C-alpha cells in the first residue's frame, strides 16, 4: 500500500471515465505519474484495488463515492467473504476475472482506460469492436498483468495494441452489449428494467448475472448431458435470455423461490458465478421448470435422442405462444413451416459455436 501524507498530491490526477474499472484507474495513475506499479502491492484483486484507491483518493483528487461505485467490498449477511458492489448491484467475488487482465487491442490503440465490463467473468468480447477479449500475449502466450508500466507484455514486450484479435461469435457480442449496459445502469443507480430494443435488454448487473447463473448451473445442468453442457451452456443461456417472455418467467420463478425464506433472500439473489452457490438455493426450481422449446429443438438437431426422450414428459415453454404447453404437442409440430424456420436458425447457431470451439478461439467459462 502507498503511504502518503495529506499534504502530498500526485502531479497528474486522472479522472475516472464512464464505466472505467478501479484497476484501470490505478494503472493510469501509475503510468501518468511515472511510478513503479509495484507501489500498489502484489495483489491485483478488485477489492484490494478499491482499498488502495480509497487510500489515495485525497492525493489523487478522487471522490470516495465515485470509487465505491466501481467495486467496493461490502459485508453481506450469510456470505463470510462479503460481496463486491458495482453501484447498486452486489456480486460474488467469482463474478470477476481475478488478477488476470483483459483487453481489446483495438480499443487500447486509441484509449488508455479499460471498462469494468471487461473484468466480468462471463463476458468474452468487446462491446465496441465485437472481437474476443485478449488475456494472454499473442506472441509468448503469457498472461497479461495489471502490474506493468508500459502498454505491453511484461514477458516479451509485445505491444498490447498489436495483439492478435479474433471476431467474437454473435452470442458473445450480444452478451458483451448486455454486460456493458448492465454495468452502466448499476453504476448510475438505475433499478428499473429498461425497454428491450433489437434483442438488447437493459437490467442491473446483478440481475443479468443471476439469470445466467441459474440458467447455466441449475436448469441447463439438469436438462443436458455433461458433454452437451460443456459445449453449449453459455451460448444457450444467452439465446434463451433473448426471449422477454422466458426471461420474465425465470426472474419471477427464482425470486419467488428465494423469497420463501426471507433470512436467505439477500444471499440467494447474489450472483457468484459458480454452480455450487446457485444449485444450493435453486436446485428445487429445476424440478418444476418448463423446458424452453429452443432446448428441445436443439437437442433434436444434435441427434440427442435419449435426452429428447427423457425430456418429453416435461412441460415446454414456447415463447411463440407466450406460455407453457405439453412437450408432446411441441414435438408433433416439429415439421411445420414455422418449426422448419426455427430449425434453420438453430442449425446456423450451433454451427457457429462448434466452429469457434474447433478453432480453439473461444472456451465457455465454467
Coil, strand or helix: which one is 131? strand
Which pLDDT belongs to residue 17?
92
What is the per-residue DSSP string for 244-268? Answer: HHHHHHHHHHHHHHHTTSGGGHHHH
Coil, strand or helix: which one is 93? helix
Which pLDDT belongs to residue 178?
96
Is-above-0.75 flag for pTM? yes
Coil, strand or helix: which one is 277? helix
Which pLDDT belongs to residue 332?
44
Which pLDDT belongs to residue 8?
60
Q: Do residues 18 and 183 make contact, with C-beta atoms less than 8 angstroms apart?
A: no
Q: Rounded distance, CA 204 to CA 318, Å?
A: 26
Q: Do residues 317 and 324 make contact, with C-beta atoms less than 8 angstroms apart?
A: yes
Q: Cβ neighbours of residue 149 under 8 Å, at least 6 residues apart?
A: 30, 31, 36, 37
Q: Rounded distance, CA 67 to CA 89, Å?
A: 14
Domain ranges of the chain: 22-162, 290-359
CB-count burial class (<10 Å; 0-12, 13-18, 19+) for 58: middle
Question: Scanning the structure block, which residue is given the C-alpha cell 437490467?
Answer: 203
Torsion sign (Cα): 352, 358, 360, 363 = positive
Which pLDDT belongs to residue 331?
44
Which pLDDT belongs to residue 176?
96
Residue 225, all three cell numbers: 448431458
Mean pLDDT by 10 residues, the chain (366 residues): 55 92 90 78 75 89 92 79 88 84 91 91 94 92 77 84 92 95 94 79 91 91 90 93 89 82 70 70 79 86 82 70 50 47 62 61 51
Q: Rounded distance, CA 182 to CA 120, Å?
A: 11
Pairing status of strand 72-76 against strand 194-197: unpaired
Which pLDDT belongs to residue 127?
94
Pairing status of strand 200-202 against strand 72-76: unpaired
Nearest 5 degrees, angle CA 274-CA 275-CA 278? 90
Which pLDDT belongs to residue 262?
64
Which pLDDT belongs to residue 166?
93
Which pLDDT belongs to residue 74?
86
Q: What is the DSSP letter of 69?
A: T
Torsion sign (Cα): 118, 143, 277, 294 = positive
Which pLDDT belongs to residue 315?
77
Nearest 5 degrees, angle CA 19-CA 265-CA 190? 30
Which pLDDT belongs to residue 270?
82
Q: Rounded distance, CA 165 to CA 141, Å?
A: 13
Amino acid at each position: 500500500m502507498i503511504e502518503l501524507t495529506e499534504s502530498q498530491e500526485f502531479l497528474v490526477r486522472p479522472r475516472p471515465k464512464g464505466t472505467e474499472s478501479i484497476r484501470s484507474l490505478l494503472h493510469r495513475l501509475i503510468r501518468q505519474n511515472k511510478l513503479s506499479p509495484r507501489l500498489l502491492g502484489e495483489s491485483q484483486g478488485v477489492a484490494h484495488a478499491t482499498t488502495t484507491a480509497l487510500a489515495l483518493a485525497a492525493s489523487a483528487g478522487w471522490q470516495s463515492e465515485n470509487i465505491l461505485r466501481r467495486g467496493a467490498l461490502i459485508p453481506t449477511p450469510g456470505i463470510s467473504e462479503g460481496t463486491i458492489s458495482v453501484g447498486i448491484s452486489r456480486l460474488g467475488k467469482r463474478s470477476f476475472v481475478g488478477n488476470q487482465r483483459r483487453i481489446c487491442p483495438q480499443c487500447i490503440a486509441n484509449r488508455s482506460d479499460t471498462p469494468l465490463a471487461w473484468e466480468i467473468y462471463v463476458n468474452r468480447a468487446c462491446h465496441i469492436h465485437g472481437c474476443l477479449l485478449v488475456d494472454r500475449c499473442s506472441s509468448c502466450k503469457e498472461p497479461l498483468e495489471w502490474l506493468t508500466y508500459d502498454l505491453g507484455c511484461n514477458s516479451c514486450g509485445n505491444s498490447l495494441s498489436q495483439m492478435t484479435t479474433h471476431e467474437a461469435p454473435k452470442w458473445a457480442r450480444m452478451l458483451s452489449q448486455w454486460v456493458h449496459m448492465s454495468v452502466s445502469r448499476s453504476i448510475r443507480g438505475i433499478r428499473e428494467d429498461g425497454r428491450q430494443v433489437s434483442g438488447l435488454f437493459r437490467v442491473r448487473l446483478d440481475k443479468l448475472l443471476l439469470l445466467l447463473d441459474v440458467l447455466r448451473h441449475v436448469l441447463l445442468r439438469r436438462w443436458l448431458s455433461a458433454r452437451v453442457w460443456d459445449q453449449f451452456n453459455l451460448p444457450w443461456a444467452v439465446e434463451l435470455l433473448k426471449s422477454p417472455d422466458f426471461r420474465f418467467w425465470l426472474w419471477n420463478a427464482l425470486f419467488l423461490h428465494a423469497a420463501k425464506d426471507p433470512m436467505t433472500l439477500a444471499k440467494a439473489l447474489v450472483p457468484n458465478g459458480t454452480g455450487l452457490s446457485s444449485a444450493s438455493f435453486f436446485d428445487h426450481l429445476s424440478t418444476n421448470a418448463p423446458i424452453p422449446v429452443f432446448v428441445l429443438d436443439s437437442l433434436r438437431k444434435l441427434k440427442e435422442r435419449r435426452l429428447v426422450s427423457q425430456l418429453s414428459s416435461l412441460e415446454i415453454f414456447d415463447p411463440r405462444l407466450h406460455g407453457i404447453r405439453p412437450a408432446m404437442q411441441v414435438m408433433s409440430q416439429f415439421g411445420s413451416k414455422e418449426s422448419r424456420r426455427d430449425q434453420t436458425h438453430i442449425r446456423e447457431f450451433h454451427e457457429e459455436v462448434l466452429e469457434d470451439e474447433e478453432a480453439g478461439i473461444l472456451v465457455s467459462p465454467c
